[in-house]
Structure 1
Amino acid sequence: MRLGWLKNLYVQVLVAVVLGALLGHFWPHAGESLKPLGDGFIKLIKMMVAPVVFTTVVTGIAKMGDLKRVGRVGLKAFLYFEVVTTGALAIGLLVGELVQPGSGLSVDVSRLDAKAIEGYTTASKSLTTVDFLFNLIPSSLVDPFTKGDILQILLVAVLTSVALSKMGKAGEGIVHALDKVGHLLFGMVGLIMRLAPLGAFGAIAFTVGKYGVGTLVGLGQLIGTFYGTALLFVFIVLGPIARWTGVGLLRLLRYLRDELLLVLGTSSSESALPRLLVKMEALGCPKSVVGLVVPMGYSFNLDGTSIYLTLASLFVAQATGTHISLGEELALLAVLLLTSKGAAAVTGGGFITLAATLSATGRIPVAGLVLLLGVDRFMSEVRALTNLVGNAVATLVVSKWEGSLDLERARAVLANPAAAQQLEPTPEAPAPDART
């Protein structure tokens, strides 16, 4: 019997996830000790994110040649992000009000150990819009590459692209060289991805071993509500949007199954960022659109995180018996529209954003976040999965909005993903003549 199917990455990761969960459940201490495997793999991937994003953005924009189009693509992406994430925040608020996942817990706030979240509340105090905007500017040209800050890398890449575009023929050699470097970097990513099953195995073993499936029982209603809401959002909201572009959601999910399983195993959507760039370009989206929309989406288009923020806020209010009126709920939504962007690139961003939001509203006790510590890891997987799907759909939308989505190629690739290797890259749409 042939076992060729074992060569597929998604099969290897799926097997690793199952084995890791079993090890963590039956031998929790052994599972906890495997944390370095997951952390090491994510660290390897993060090592590649900065140069991959930089080369992709620079070569994509420089080859496009039309700087007005760059601004137009960025503006369209940002408008789409704002509309969809606002919808995600509103859906989380609506479901939280209808299902009431925290009702009946009757938690006494005074008995909660607020020290457990001191690290998050301290970080949230400096989380302001002005700080966020200033943090977009790196302290040096190489600083974004050492820190891995995607937004700062995007800023440097855009500036580099504009400068190269203005150099004319002299800049073409640099663009060509960066294009070759990009191929080298993606080759390195391919080598690292061979370790994905090992990373997923260690990450899942640690999660189950440390927190245990028993923690799911106590707050099962919250977890179930969040999982259900995320699925509802993906199929009821993102599904029709994807269909509008001409790409079926189920086929898109099947196409991205390797990346989805990788995110499930590592609880980090960033672990799939380099491969998502390649997959969306192979699907028929222009490199210039992919290079702008995907990195921007990782900071501004966090659909799963948005659902979590409003749902978790209401859960804490309900669990602690804090009554909030409709006006206060709308105020909470307004604050989250700002704070959900402010912690985009911060480690532990979900908790920091929640702490900042609850502190800003002053109505829901921040100490109530202690209730979420035990199960947040289990919800982070669904947040990351929803974020990944949302960014893939956003790339399709902006590509179609620009009139540059190669739908014929997309259908061919979705029907036979291996065909993408034989197809030529999608050419950039011709730039309008600036003299007319």
Structure 2
Amino acid sequence: MQLHDLRVTQTAPTHKPFYRNLYFQVLLAIVVGAVLGHFWPDLGVQMKPLGDAFIKLVKMIIAPVIFLTIVTGLAGMGTLKGVGSVVAKSFGYFLFFSTLALVVGLVVANVVQPGAGMNIDPATLDTKAVAAYAAKAHESTLTGFLMNIIPTTLTSAFNDGDILQVLFVAILFGISVILVGEPARPVVTFCEAATHILFKFVSLLMKVAPIGAFGAFAFTIGKYGIGSIVNLATLVFTFYLTAAIFVLVILGAVCALNGFSVLKLIRYLKAELLLVLGTSSSESALPALMEKMEHAGCKRSVVGLVVPTGYSFNLDGTNIYMTLAALFIAQATNTDLTIGQQLLLLAVAMLSSKGAAGVTGAGFITLAATLSVVPSVPVAGMALILGVDRFMSECRSLTNFIGNAVACVVVSRWEGALDTDRLHKVLGGHELHLMHSHDDKNAA
């Protein structure tokens, strides 16, 4: 059943003062936060609640946004065949590029060798700081991860805010709506109205995003200090450079093959990317990403399935980090790894990256999980990078975010669910808006 259609209209360009643009406000907040954290570190650390409060505000709205977007999107598909097609293509894309990201990290680590010459004795390292991460990694098995997708009750997924649990419930509910058919129309109409309200809610939350970015960045600089990256500058620089190459070259080629520019996509998402940078959390911009992908011409049903799923299964930045950091530790501790051992490391990382998906500090936890299974590399070596992990977390989040935006557009195109004219206009900077109109079959 066709429940709604979309009409695109183009409005006259609006020229807001630059200081009213969200990206400028967030950028200014990051700069001010960095200055505060650097020159008054104690005061910077005290700003942490501002960042935490904003992230809590966003997480509060993520579950209902995902649920309503998926339900209305699946209802618009009208058939189960369409749902299966999107899921199959999404996971095929995720598996290929997640594996490719691991391989890229492995290759770069072997070529650059950022840990060579450090000659660290693992026995001299203080492992107390990484013990908690190792414990969480031990708990985050693949079986436990799969079991955790099923919520204890229908409502507990929303209470806990677990993205995959909400996704699981939403897909089952959406499929049920399709099977019920016409009698479900009132429910879908309600969900569509609620979706508009929630996205307006999101736009209100984004107005305080600069405050959250300021607090989070002031804390990061105040707590860890820019000087903490000097000793491990080679690793940090190598990781950022590798992530940039992955985004601009590999994902850039994917975008070009699918008829759009990754640079224009990044420009379109600049405010959200700055928010991710400021908060070191890609989740902080999840609702805004879903709204912007639909605004750019991706069908709501595809956006609702690809973006939330990608947040757990399409972590390009995290995967680059895992193999690069693991080999850095091996090189720093003079641990020689054969090609076979490195391939084993890659295979384990493929599984562990899914086992700890969605866990706070997932990048560090997945690294601990990987090293615990590959005994050749000492887990104690993680203490070497703990001090700069926060700075690399920002790059992980940015790369993950861009990777999921690209995946959404590509899968939409594969599904024939992409308005390419609208995409090019939006990425080109034109001011567009969507007009939703309900289609009453009885009026036809």
Q: TM-score range by the shorter chain?
A: over 0.9
CA–CA distance in structure 1, aligned partners of residues 371 and 181 of structure 2: 51
Query: In 2, are the aligned partners of 1:286 and 1:426 still within 8 Å (CA)?
Result: no
Q: 319, 334, 352: which is aligned to 1:306? A: 319
In structure 2, give the amino acid aligned to 1:7: R
The residue aligned with 2:425 is 412
Number of residue pairs aligned between Structure 1 and Structure 2: 425
Q: Does 1:132 align with 2:169?
A: no
In structure 1, give the amino acid aligned to 2:163: I
The residue aligned with 1:321 is 334
Query: In 2, are the aligned partners of 1:255 and 1:417 still within 8 Å (CA)?
Result: no
Matched position secondary structure for 2:140: coil
Residue 164 to residue 293, structure 1, CA distance change in 2 (3 Å): same
Q: Does 1:391 align with 2:404?
A: yes
Q: Does 1:55 align with 2:59?
A: no
Matched position secondary structure for 1:125: helix
Q: 276, 279, 284: which is aligned to 1:271? A: 284
CA–CA distance in structure 2, aligned partners of residues 148 and 379 of structure 1: 25
CA–CA distance in structure 1, aligned partners of residues 335 and 148 of structure 2: 35
Q: How far did 1:293 drift? A: 0.2
CA–CA distance in structure 1, aligned partners of residues 22 and 333 of structure 2: 44
CA–CA distance in structure 1, aligned partners of residues 436 and 284 of structure 2: 24
Matched position secondary structure for 1:214: helix
Q: 280, 298, 308: which is aligned to 1:285? A: 298
The residue aligned with 1:433 is none
Residue 379 to residue 146, structure 1, CA distance change in 2 (3 Å): same
Matched position secondary structure for 2:431: helix
Q: Does 1:237 align with 2:250?
A: yes
Q: Could you list the per-position Cα deviations for residues 42-100 of structure 1 after superposition, in whole angstroms to 9, with x for gaps in the alignment? A: 01001010010000011100111111110110010000000001000000000001101
Q: Does 1:332 align with 2:345?
A: yes
Residue 231 to residue 333, structure 1, CA distance change in 2 (3 Å): same
CA–CA distance in structure 2, aligned partners of residues 46 and 144 of structure 1: 13
In structure 1, give the amino acid aligned to 2:62: V
Query: In 2, are the aligned partners of 1:30 and 1:209 still within 8 Å (CA)?
Result: yes
Matched position secondary structure for 1:103: coil
Q: 114, 119, 124: which is aligned to 1:101? A: 114
Q: 155, 164, 179: which is aligned to 1:166? A: 179
Q: Could you list the per-position Cα deviations for residues 130-183 of structure 1 after superposition, in whole angstroms to 9, with x for gaps in the alignment? A: 111111111111111111111110110011001111222210110010111111
Q: Could you list the per-position Cα deviations for residues 325-384 of structure 1 after superposition, in whole angstroms to 9, with x for gaps in the alignment? A: 111001101111111111111111112111111111111000111111110110111110
Query: In 1, are the aligned partners of 2:268 and 2:429 still within 8 Å (CA)?
Result: no
In structure 2, give the amino acid aligned to 1:152: Q
Q: How far did 1:426 drift? A: 11
Query: In 2, are the aligned partners of 1:128 and 1:342 still within 8 Å (CA)?
Result: yes
Matched position secondary structure for 2:139: coil
In structure 2, give the amino acid aligned to 1:282: H
Q: How far did 1:404 drift? A: 2.0
CA–CA distance in structure 1, aligned partners of residues 268 and 372 of structure 2: 41
In structure 2, give the amino acid aligned to 1:99: V
In structure 2, give the amino acid aligned to 1:188: F
CA–CA distance in structure 2, aligned partners of residues 334 and 91 of structure 1: 14
CA–CA distance in structure 2, aligned partners of residues 350 and 245 of structure 1: 30
CA–CA distance in structure 2, aligned partners of residues 319 and 415 of structure 1: 46
The residue aligned with 1:431 is none
Q: 374, 383, 390: which is aligned to 2:387? A: 374
The residue aligned with 1:262 is 275
CA–CA distance in structure 2, aligned partners of residues 294 and 14 of structure 1: 25
Q: Does 1:212 align with 2:225?
A: yes
Q: How far did 1:416 drift? A: 2.7
The residue aligned with 1:155 is 168
CA–CA distance in structure 1, aligned partners of residues 222 and 215 of structure 2: 10
Q: How far did 1:425 drift? A: 6.1
Q: Could you list the per-position Cα deviations for residues 205-254 of structure 1 after superposition, in whole angstroms to 9, with x for gaps in the alignment? A: 00000100111101000000000000000011000111122111111111
Q: 194, 198, 206: which is aligned to 1:185? A: 198
The residue aligned with 1:145 is 158
The residue aligned with 2:10 is none
In structure 2, give the amino acid aligned to 1:136: I
Query: In 1, are the aligned partners of 2:59 and 2:284 still within 8 Å (CA)?
Result: yes
Q: How far did 1:108 drift? A: 1.5
Question: Which runs of 5 or more structure 1 residues have no equivalent in the other structure?
Answer: 429-436
- Equivalent residue runs for 1:220-231 within 5 Å: 220-231=233-244
CA–CA distance in structure 1, aligned partners of residues 133 and 330 of structure 2: 18
CA–CA distance in structure 2, aligned partners of residues 252 and 417 of structure 1: 13
CA–CA distance in structure 2, aligned partners of residues 174 and 183 of structure 1: 15
CA–CA distance in structure 2, aligned partners of residues 122 and 101 of structure 1: 27
The residue aligned with 1:341 is 354
Query: In 2, are the aligned partners of 1:396 and 1:405 still within 8 Å (CA)?
Result: yes
RMSD, aligned CA: 1.5
| Runs of 4+ that moved beyond 3 A | 423-428
TM-score, normalisation: structure 1: 0.95
Matched position secondary structure for 1:138: coil
Question: Which runs of 5 or more structure 2 residues have no equivalent in the other structure?
Answer: 1-14, 440-444
The residue aligned with 2:209 is 196
Identity of aligned pairs, percent?
Answer: 55
Query: In 2, are the aligned partners of 1:102 and 1:319 still within 8 Å (CA)?
Result: yes
TM-score, normalisation: structure 2: 0.94
The residue aligned with 2:39 is 26
Query: In 2, are the aligned partners of 1:92 and 1:308 still within 8 Å (CA)?
Result: yes
Query: In 1, are the aligned partners of 2:243 and 2:399 still within 8 Å (CA)?
Result: yes
CA–CA distance in structure 1, aligned partners of residues 181 and 336 of structure 2: 62
